[in-house]
Amino acid sequence: MDDLIADFVSECRDMLESLGGEIVAWEAQPQDRARLDSIFRFVHTVKGNCGFFDFPRLEALSHAAEDALADVRAGRRQPDAPLVSAVLAVIDRIGEMIEVIAAGNPLPDGDDGDLIHALKPGAEQPAPAAPAAPAGNPVANAFVSGAAPRTIRLSVDLLDRMMSGVSDLVLARNELARRLRDSDTDVSVDSAFERMSGIIAEMRDAITRTRMQRIESLFVGLPRMVRDISAELGKQVMVDIDGGDVELDREMIEMIRDPLTHIVRNAVDHGIEPPAERLKAGKREIGLLCVSARQSGNQILIDIVDDGRGIDGKKLVTKALDIGIIESGDAARMSPREQLNLIFEAGFSTAAAVTSISGRGVGMDVVRSNVERIGGLVEVESKVGQGTRMTLRVPLTLTIIPALTVSIGHQHFAIPRVAIEEIVRASGESVQLSHVGGAGIVTIRGRRVPEIVLAEVLGLGSDVAAADRTLIVLKPAGGDVYALAVDKVHDHEELVVKPAAPAVMATGLYAGTTLADDGSPILLFDPAGLARVGGVRFEAQERSVRLLEETVPDAAEAQTPVLLFRDLAGTRRAIRLGVVDRIEEVPPSAVSFAAGRMRVQLGDDILPLSGMDVPPVGEGKVRLFRLSDGASQLGLAFRDVIDLDAIAESIIPADVPGAVEGVTLVAGEPAELVDAHWLFATQAHGLAADTPPLCKLDLTDAWVRNMLRPIVEAAGYRVLPSDAAVTADLAIAWAGSEPATAAGRTLFLSAEANAPANENHIYRYDRAGLLLALRDAAAKGGAK
């Protein structure tokens, strides 16, 4: 019987966790039959089980709620606010009784007649009931979705031991991989190791999932809490919740429950205004509170956004001066962000009076300290009269992530692979180092990004010259692109990440700590924190203008950067660098002949593959370029990269269209130039004159510059930028845009294959139609 009661308590806890949000949502949409059925199913289940276990008081409560809900389901009664409040009160009382049963105590004698009477039509609204006791490790909404999955209950300590074991297994696998790389092994040993690595990866994922829980269990009680607080304060607040399917370590969920609750209570109490004040400010009387979660790398970002009155930084400064937290000299130099961060000072509050609900600022120092204790951050943004955004950045405390290990001198560090865009040598021909105003700037293929020298940030000695360093281009989530200069780059590995010591996390540089394959400790960088400490402070608008100015080539520029390589047959070829997104290495198993052509799997993408006619065999890696036109991608297989170089626009065109556009000199030797436009055209579905005709193109567009311009020039045209003062024979523009002025014909390109087409409107990968239009315009001398 004890086991049956334990199962009953566990089932009720699971269902209670999600019912608060279900009832509030049902009140907003009474016609939602699914939610009504979910609530009815709960009270019906409790009533049936109570009869079996002989809990008459609990049975009477659930029976009364079942009768009231049955009338609503049958259409004999309409759901209204008093009924919803009465059902909430009954469910809260049921929750209290469930916790008494769980503690092994008998249910106390008592009279629930007031709650039962409140369920009747026309009854007065009952007094607010105490919230249900917290449920332990619920599986939210399992009963709503119908047949629940097969489950088994395990001790959290056992899961911790399993997770620790698989972490040690990953470290041992990494050490074995290093030893195999350093020694001569035969193919059979390597194959066995690859199989073992795959099995370990599957085991790691499965065991990691056992500790993960949907963050929905953290959000599900918020609608009910907001409803109760807003009713007490005489406010109207609508809650919008998103991202409940994001998963987080179950211990982390419990650790951030109190900070999240405190922030939400503050937002309703002192953030969102009363209805009359909102109407006076030109807002709708119902306030909006948005709570969302998303995963960014090895962090979970939880945003709490309200559209209330916002936080006045100047008032915060005035209050801080009054209570002596800051000096007047410091106040004058504080930035807006520093002003807002005053709410995190101990004992700081702008509340006029102490109430049962904390004012915004009360206890925020405790909120921040609790979040930072687990390696997280709390950020605040606010605009007076518009609202406030609080962001909790919470790390995954125990997870295994792919990372790149780097070193400065003899010190090793790790960088999350998800933040890495590319890796280049500082001495490469496409890289230029410079200093502007004392800050380092790196120009990579025409794009300028700030440089952070890791040795200088950490204060470590380095014997590597600046030109011999390796640059890692990083893009943190929501941050700016920058280049991190390191002495050496080592291996890509999967590392077990754990929280670092509080003193280490306080530096703002690190996201955790890990162990190398030899057992030595390694600190894992937080790319966003590294950017802040390193002084990256570009505003988004200034950055976009800067990149646009620096990546658009001058119309008279005679050099085009290319990547020189050898294809699988050993032929020396070149491809314009602007269409190469990155270089990939895949196992032969990722390449196959499917649906009539060669294809390659890159992560979750399956791309067409050129440069290879049959699937590869053997144990080696297949190297390929990932080409992009801005909208779609394809792969181009190759053997090895020779160098980065530049070519003049003197290209001898090929006799027939195909994968080779023509031949040109690269580094003093002939090389075939790959026709990227032809490659994309085949995957998607030169007339010369004594005086070449002129064509205006928008050279600020990367696709036009790298894909369309070579085709137009091969057809015998001389290309001019769209803003050139010279009158052209032909202008080519995107459909729907304002075309450049041309004396003759204007040709419009469509990005959609099924767009209406005619002689002046052509799909951008309709190669035959495009060439026909170019030849027609050239033959007619631009006449309409």
**The pLDDT of residue 337 is above 90:** no
Cβ-contact 627, 636 below 8 angstroms:
yes
Residue 44, φ and ψ in degrees, nearest 5: -65, -40
Residue 356, φ and ψ in degrees, nearest 5: -70, -20
**Both structure tokens of 349:** 């509050």
Largest interatomic CA distance in the chain? 106
Highest mean pLDDT among 325-329, 346-350, 382-386: 382-386
At 470, which helix (H) or strand (E)? strand 470-474
**Both structure tokens of 534:** 């390193």
- The lowest-confidence range among 130-139, 322-331, 752-761 is 130-139
What pLDDT score was predicted for residue 554? 44
pLDDT greater at residue 342 or residue 546: 342
Mean per-residue pLDDT for 380-388? 90
> Parallel, antiparallel, or unpaired: how do β-strands 660-666 and 299-306 relate?
unpaired
Q: Compute the distance between CA of residue 712 and CA of residue 729 in angstroms, rounded to an integer.
A: 13
Q: Is 724 helix (H, G, I), strand (E, B) or coil?
A: coil
What pLDDT score was predicted for residue 636? 92
Mean per-residue pLDDT for 594-599? 82
- Residues of the chain above pLDDT 70, percent: 83
pLDDT tens per residue across span 539-595: 333 333 343 344 444 433 457 788 888 898 889 999 988 788 778 888 888 898 887
Q: Compute the distance between CA of residue 32 and CA of residue 42 in angstroms, rounded to an integer.
A: 16
**Both structure tokens of 692:** 């070449």
What pLDDT score was predicted for residue 223? 86
pLDDT tens per residue across span 114-145: 888 888 887 765 554 443 333 333 333 332 33
CATH fold label, 399-550? OB fold (Dihydrolipoamide Acetyltransferase, E2P) (2.40.50)
- The lowest-confidence range among 21-35, 360-374, 389-403, 443-457 is 360-374
pLDDT greater at residue 284 or residue 724: 284
**Cα distances (angstroms) measured from residue 218 to each of 136, 261, 289, 348, 379:** 11, 9, 16, 28, 20
What pLDDT score was predicted for residue 290? 92
Mean per-residue pLDDT for 214-224? 83
Cβ-contact 458, 507 below 8 angstroms:
no
Choose which CATH entry (3.40.50.2300, 3.40.50.1450, 3.40.50.300, 1.20.1260.10) describes domain 685-779: 3.40.50.2300
**The pLDDT of residue 148 is above 60:** no
Burial of residue 150 (number of CB atoms within 10 Å: 0-12, 13-18, 19+): exposed
- The lowest-confidence range among 202-216, 536-550, 666-680 is 536-550
What pLDDT score was predicted for residue 163? 75
The single residue listed with the structure tokens 């002939």 is 670
Mean per-residue pLDDT for 604-624? 84
387 DSSP β-pair partners: 383
- The lowest-confidence range among 413-417, 536-540, 584-588, 618-622 is 536-540
What pLDDT score was predicted for residue 537? 52
What pLDDT score was predicted for residue 274? 92
**Both structure tokens of 189:** 């040993």
pLDDT tens per residue across span 245-272: 788 877 778 888 888 988 998 899 888 9
Q: Compute the distance between CA of residue 444 and CA of residue 643 in angstroms, rounded to an integer.
A: 15
What pLDDT score was predicted for residue 740? 61
Average pLDDT across the chain, whole number: 77
State the pLDDT confidence band at 690, using cuts at 50, 70 and 90.
low
State the pLDDT confidence band at 147, using cuts at 50, 70 and 90.
very low
At 54, which helix (H) or strand (E)? none
Alpha helices for 234-327 (secondary structure H): 250-266, 275-280, 313-322
- Residues of the chain above pLDDT 90, percent: 5
- Angle at Cα 698 formed by Cα 696 and Cα 703, nearest 5°? 120
First-to-last C-alpha distance (Å) of the chain: 92
In b/e form, how buried is each residue of 363-379, taking b as 16+ CB within 10 angstroms?
Answer: bbeebbebbeebbbbbe
Mean per-residue pLDDT for 67-71? 85
Highest mean pLDDT among 13-22, 203-212, 626-635: 626-635
216-395: CATH homologous superfamily? Histidine kinase-like ATPase, C-terminal domain (3.30.565.10)
What pLDDT score was predicted for residue 436? 61
Q: What pTM, to 2 d.p., does this model score?
A: 0.43
The strand order across the sheet containing 482-486 reads 420-425, 470-474, 482-486, 447-453, 439-444, 431-436
Burial of residue 776 (number of CB atoms within 10 Å: 0-12, 13-18, 19+): middle
CATH of span 2-118: 1.20.120.160
Q: What is the DSSP-derived secondary structure letter of residue 670?
A: E
> Parallel, antiparallel, or unpaired: how do β-strands 572-576 and 669-674 relate?
parallel
State the pLDDT confidence band at 289, using cuts at 50, 70 and 90.
very high
